[in-house]
């Protein structure tokens, strides 16, 4: 099996979910193109169809929507070994409502919808991989819905920080606040209250 360094983490990602032969792994990753993007560069924009599903090799990205009143709401973050896209746009191949932008210079692996469809038809194991991925995505979205319904702003921050400390350290606070459904001012207050209480 050829080892192009950028593909290694995606290969590990696949193998952790479904048992593939070397040949299958090669077939899978050969449909992904390596894309390097600069901080602040967009890979998805509203009104354009999200052509790609993107796997992050290096860097950090953010998906967000802009509401009628002009406010940004972060829908997802992605760092190393995570996937990102406008989910509704990609799976239905309809115009996006989100922006997906790099928070840092990044290296991503992208597969387009047609190639993905072809892969799934070619080998049921690829179908299985995407089924597992979709199920886990749905499960994690549902956990987020439950968290949003049941917890206060402070609890939501504490919970996210406990689960994803590396993301918290890496992304701008205003993007995190909008992900957690609060203002950047309120998140600042929560965090600084905490610091004072420690003394």
Residues at the contact surface with its own copies, assessed by CB under 8 A: 65, 67, 71, 73, 75, 87-88, 91-92, 97, 120, 124, 127-128, 130-131, 134-139, 141-146, 148-151, 178, 181
DSSP state, 52?
Answer: E
Least distance from its own copies to the Cβ atom of residue 89, Å: 9
Give the binding range for DNA (CB under 7 A) out of 82-90, 94-102, 110-118, 152-160: 152-160
b/e 145-162 (16+ beta carbons within 10 angstroms → b): eebeeeeebbebbeebbe
Least distance from its own copies to the Cβ atom of residue 176, Å: 13
Q: Are 25 and 15 in contact (CB under 8 A)?
A: yes
Least distance from DNA to the Cβ atom of residue 181, Å: 6
Q: Which of residues 18-47 bind DNA (CB under 7 A)?
A: 39-40
Q: Is 130 in the site for DNA (CB under 7 A)?
A: no
Specify the 3-state DSSP secondary structure of 65.
strand
Give the binding range for DNA (CB under 7 A) out of 18-26, 109-117, 140-148, 166-174: 166-174
From start to end of the chain, where are the E strands?
33-37, 42-44, 52-58, 61-66, 72-78, 83-84, 99-102, 106-112
Work out what residue 82 binds among its own copies, DNA, none; the CB cut-off runs from 5 to 8 Å by kind: none
Q: What are the backbone angles phi and psi of residue 136, rounded to the nearest 5°?
A: -70, -35
């Amino acid at each position: 099996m050829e080892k192009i360094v950028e593909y290694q983490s995606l290969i590990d990602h696949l193998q952790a979910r479904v048992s593939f032969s070397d040949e299958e792994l090669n077939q899978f990753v050969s449909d992904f193109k390596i894309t390097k993007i600069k901080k602040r560069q967009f890979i998805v924009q509203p009104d354009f169809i999200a052509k790609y599903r993107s796997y992050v090799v290096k860097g950090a990205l953010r998906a967000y929507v802009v509401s009628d009143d002009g406010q940004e709401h972060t829908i997802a973050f992605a760092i190393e070994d995570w996937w990102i896209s406008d989910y509704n746009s990609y799976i239905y191949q309809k115009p996006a409502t989100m922006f997906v932008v790099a928070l840092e210079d990044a290296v991503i692996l992208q597969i387009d919808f047609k190639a993905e469809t072809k892969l799934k038809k070619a080998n049921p194991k690829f179908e299985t991989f995407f089924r597992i991925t979709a199920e886990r995505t749905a499960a994690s979205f549902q956990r987020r819905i439950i968290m949003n319904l049941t917890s206060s702003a402070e609890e939501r921050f504490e919970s996210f920080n406990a689960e994803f400390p590396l993301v918290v350290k890496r992304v701008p606070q205003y993007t995190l606040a909008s992900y957690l459904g609060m203002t950047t001012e309120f998140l600042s207050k929560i965090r600084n209250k905490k610091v004072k209480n420690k003394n």
